[in-house]
Every structure is written in structure tokens, then in C-alpha cells.
Amino acid sequence: MGGSTLRILQVGSVAAGVALAAWAVFAPRFRDAEGIATGVVCLPIAIAIAIGVWATFLGSSWRRFAGWVALAIAGEAVALQMIEAGPVIRYQHYLSPVELVQSWHVWLIAAAGLQAVAVAAGLARMWPSIVTWTGQHLRWWQCAGVIGVVSLAGAELARDVPRYAIELAIATVIQIINMGNLALIAGSIPGSGLASIGRRFESLFGSADDLLTPEPGAPDRFSLVTAALGVLLATMLAAFSYERHPHVPDEVVYIYPARYFAQGLLSMPEPPVREAFSLALMDYHAGRWFSAAPPGWPAMLAIGALVGLTWLVDPVLNGVNILLMYLLVREIASRRFARLAIVLLSVSPWNTFLAMSFMTHTSTLTCALAAALALARARRSGRPLWAWLSGAALGLTSVIRPLEGLIAAVVLGAWALGSLRRRAAVAAMVGLAGGGMLVGAMVLPYNRALTGDPLLFPIMAYNDKNFGKNSNALGFGPDRGGAMHWALDPFPGHGPLDATINTALNVAAINTELFGWAAGSLFFVAVSAFVGRLRRFDVAMLGVLGSIVGLHVFYWFSGGPDFGARYWFLAIVPSVLLTVRGIQALEQSREARLESILGGRATVAALVLCVVALVTFVPWRAVDKYHHYRGMRPDVRRLAREHRFGRSLVLVRGNRHPDYASAATYNPIDLHAAEPVYAWDQNPQVRRLILEAYPDRPVWILEGPTLTRAGYRVVAGPLDARHLLEE
């Protein structure tokens, strides 16, 4: 192909890609009735990016590599369009074969088939090399183990067993195709480029010596830049996908106490009409109105409330977590290992989407990482102060999420006992226990102030009162879950079968959300378990995973589909570290380390997968699921400005969630302040009571999203409260 012809082809391809992306952005078919982009828009944009990648390297020795990367981008974008997720509370599932052949979905099947044919043809060309390498380094059961783990985690369980079996088969096929695509990406790196890649990796990530040799050190430019990029990504998603607004009921009752904590209050006075201000997890006791959630996270969120930036607290903590992870891993492994780990953490959709939210889990990870880092410093220096600081961080973890505090205590306690000399181990355990009790005990006077009993937690009192005794307790029994009757709870009560189902749901969620890889996020984790030579480090990480899973077996609920396996979020640390170990396992042979036949190919392939997920999975998830997730929208914030609600009473029609909960986020802490007060227009009786409580305020009436099937709508106002009472 001549130079001019090649140039024309490249320019034409790039132009076609730009035109395709522009069409996707502006075409009405990719928007809903409100003009908001839907998840379908991500497919043509991803294909446009794939075309650009292919065209850029068309005339170089990297053209085959770029071609397989482009195919991976397009293939994952196509696979995502086969999934039914959306902004509702449900587990995602692949469309059934009948649904896939309907309408334009038939083109998805054709596109997936083309990827499969291309991958099969590419693997056929490399087949002799694959057979030789596999015969030298792998056994059949190792390959079967890796494929089996990823395949069984490929789809969420469903009550319709035949449909689940079909869906699992679809997921397995898609993942195997993309595993093959991954192999082709790794295998198509030009041999002449491997040495250059090695040098660049050496410069960027550090020495390729034993990755498990500790290299303690301070934060450096690499870690600071990675942390800053992690903060930036989470902030962008918080602003544009989450719209700086809570979307899960729990988040509303974190924002309330954050705001009254920021004002120096432990609670609020009871509202004038309870029914008009009813919110899940908000409780009453002795004239107080307060959040039943543990106080640790709202206390941290109060820092943001002081400056009106509660929505930035989790994104900033994400950067802190990346730095803490870097420092911790350098205490137990090499700088190169730590840098690879924080790159994976910073681009993890599981981590990033939680960091864009108002949920507790990012802060829990902050405290757990701080506790682990302090214990590692105690282990290295022998100074008891570090153990006390570790215990203090554990105590704070328990004040945010008690079960995660228990898990962290079990894991770090075992590490303290097993890795230190006898006298140092005793000192470490004393520090861990002492620091943990000192900080954790701060919740006792808080409990007493709100429930009247220092040992009765508000969350337990709330659940026992509303759903039955022991409804939120650990353990097995018919009373677990009580009268909640959530559709996501497998069976009434809690038993071994429930625990098995919950575990399977969370494993599948991690396989999807951890990295967003079409080949399965657990691919390299499975490789580390089945292919690599297990070392003490690997056994320890598998033990941490086992502790997290094992202790959650005794809780009746899986956590649901909000933000993946969020109840297991601490598992992200061992999962990331085992992923690095899996990458390393593929770059080792029995005879040599990085000089093996794969060289640095596995690392390149893993980083390419991360980039592919950033341009396919992350935008799709942000648009398809988390924008207006569960019907929660910030429209009230805009309407208040446009209509100048001022000192008014705003009656919100619709359901408690999302219609009223979304609006109630903007209530003042003082419900008699000269600001808009949002009340739930639940029924005529409640309306009369609330109008009598605010007779001197102009009244506005809003209809919520469940009534309008779109955004909030002002249907009347301003009206005279007294006139409405007369009517």
C-alpha cells in the first residue's frame, strides 16, 4: 500500500469516526423523550474510538496490535448493549435470545459473531505457539479453573433457572471470545517493541526485580498524579452522572446528619407533622428527629457540609485511598507492584462509582487502609504508637460500618499475631485493642443521647421497631430481615441457602464491576490462584477475601445491585493485589522471570483492558444506570431557583421514594427557617395538617417523577395556605 493511499485511508477513517461520534451526540434516536442521552449512545461513540485507534497505527508495525485493540473496544461496546441494567434497582441481566433477535438487537448478535470469527481466525494463526507455550507452562486443569471461575461469575443468579442457564451460557461465550481477543492483543505486540516497552515500564513503574520484596517509601510524583487523576475521574462522574445529588435512600440520611453535625447538633427537633416529612432510616425518640445510620460517615461528610461541598468528600477520599494503598503495598511488596496496584485501583469502576456517590464505603476503605498501613509501620519499626494509631483507625471503621470494622479487626489482628515476634505481637495487639476501644467507645454516649441506652445502636432500634426484633441482627433464623420483604432478599429469614445465593450474586457483581472487563474482571485473580506458584502473600490475600466473604455469610442481605458488591467493598484491596499477581504469573516461566516468552505482554494487555473499560464500560454505566438512578433527580434545586420558592411550603406529590426523598434532600435543618420547606403530600389528611402547621407560607405543588414519567413539574403555585384549607 502506497504512502499516499495509506494517508487517504487514515484520514478517511478518522473522518468517518468523527462523523459517527457527531451523529451519536446529536441524533434524537440516542436520546429519551426529555432529550437526555441513553446508554445506546455509547455504542457508536465506542466504535468511532475503535476506528480512530485502528487508523492511527495503520501504517506502523503496531497495526495488528491496534487492530485487536480496536476489536476489543467495539466488542465490549456491543456486549454491553446486550445487557439490561438501566436506572432501576435490579441486578443486570443479558437479554434473552428471543429479545436479542428482535428489532435492531439482531445486529448485536451479528457484530458479536464477527468478533468471534475474527478472534478464531487470529488464534488459528497463532495456534502452534499457543500450544507450545501452554504445554510448557500450563496444565489442562489450570486453564479449566481460570475459565470456570470467570464463567460461573459471568451472570447474576435469577429465580428463573432455565433463563439463568441460558444467560450463563451467553456470558461464558462472550467472555471466552474476549479472553481470546486479550490473547491476541498480548501476542500481537511487535517483538521489536518489547524491549522498548520494558525500558519504559522500568522508567515508569520501577525495577522488575522480585515484586514481593518490600520497598517502603513516601508518596512520590507517580502516586500523587495517579491519586489526582482518580479524584478527577470521580469528581467528573459526581458532577455529570450523579449531578451532585443523592440517588440511594441511605444517602439522604447521611446528608441530613452531616448538615446538623456541621451545626453542632446531634439531632433535629421533631417535624410538625411526622407523616409529611417521612424518610426511610429517620427515627424519633424523646422529641428528637435523627438519622438511624451510624455516625462515623456523616461526621466525615460534615466537613464538606461546612463549605457546601458534601458531594466532593468521597471523590477526595478516593485520592487519599490511592495514596494509602500505595504506601501500604510498598510496605509488603515492591514499588513496581504498588504502582501497578494503584493504577488498577484508580480506574476500577467499582471504586470510582462508589467514590462519586455519598455512600459510606469509600470512607470505610480509607480507615481500613490507614489501619493496615499503621500496623505495617508498627511491624517494621517496632514502635507501639503505630499499633495504637492502627487501632484508632479500626475504631473509626467500626463507627462507620460496624461489620466492616469487625472484619478489619479480624484480618489485622491475625496479621499482628502472625508476623511479629512474641513480645512485639503482644504490644501490637494491645495497641490495636486499646486504640480501637478508645475511638469505638465514642459511639456509646451518642447511642445514649439518641436511644437512651449506650449499648442500643440507633440503626438496631429503628429496625427492631419497624421490622421486628432481630430483623437486622447477624446470624441465621426466620426473624432475620423481619417484615422488610424486599424483592432482592432470596427467601424470608436467613439460612445457608440465602447465604449461598448472596455470595453468588456478589461474586458475579465483582466480576463485572471490579474492572469492567468483557473478559471478566476476575480473570487475573483466577490466574493467580490456578497458574502462579502460590506464595505466602497470595495465601494471605486469599485469606482476606475469605474473611470478608465468610463474615458476610451471617448477614441476611447481599447489599443489592447498588454500586456492585458494595457490602464487600473491602475486598477490592486483595482483588487488586491478586490481579497484579496474576499478571506476574503470566510473565513468568519455570526457567526465567520477565525473560519468558510472554515478556511484558500480560502487563500491556491488562493496561489495554483498563483503557478499553474507560472508553466503553465507564461511560455506559454512567449514562445507562447512574444518571437519574432509582428515579432520584436534582430538578427541585433548579425549580427553586427558577420559581423563586423562597420562604414557602412545597407540597410534593408521588411516592416517598423517589419523589419525596429526592426533594427532601434540600430541606433546611430548621424546618421553620426562611427557606423552602418540602413536605410529602401523602393524602388529604396529611395535607390539612401540614397546611395548618404552615398557614402563613405561600404554597407550591410539585408532581414527582413517578407521576410525570419525567422530571419534577410545578402544577400550582404560589397558593394561599388558608384558602387551600378552606377548600
CB contact set of 84 (below 8 Å; sequence gap of 6+): 92, 93, 94, 95
Mean pLDDT of 75-88: 94
534 vs 142: CA distance, rounded Å: 13
45 falls in which pLDDT band (50, 70, 90)? very high
pLDDT at 594 over 50: no
pLDDT at 389 over 90: yes
Mean pLDDT of 485-496: 87
pLDDT of residue 421: 60
pLDDT at 595 over 60: no
CA torsion sign, 385 to 390 to 393 to 399? negative
668 falls in which pLDDT band (50, 70, 90)? very high
Mean of all residue pLDDT scores within the chain? 91
197 falls in which pLDDT band (50, 70, 90)? confident
Give pLDDT tens digits for 331-369: 999 999 999 999 999 999 999 999 999 999 999 999 999
Which of 94-103, 183-192, 227-236, 447-456 is modeled with the greatest confidence?
Answer: 227-236
Q: Report yes or no: 522 and 153 within 8 Å, Cβ to Cβ.
A: yes
Q: Which phi and psi angles does 283 have, rounded to 5°?
A: -125, 170
pLDDT of residue 2: 60
pLDDT of residue 602: 87
Residue 684 identity (one-letter amino acid): P
Cβ-count burial of 145 within 10 angstroms (0-12 exposed, 13-18 middle, 19+ buried)?
middle
pLDDT at 486 over 90: no
Residue 676 identity (one-letter amino acid): P
pLDDT of residue 724: 87
pLDDT at 133 over 90: no
C-alpha cell at 560: 443489592
Mean pLDDT of 681-694: 94
Mean pLDDT of 464-485: 90
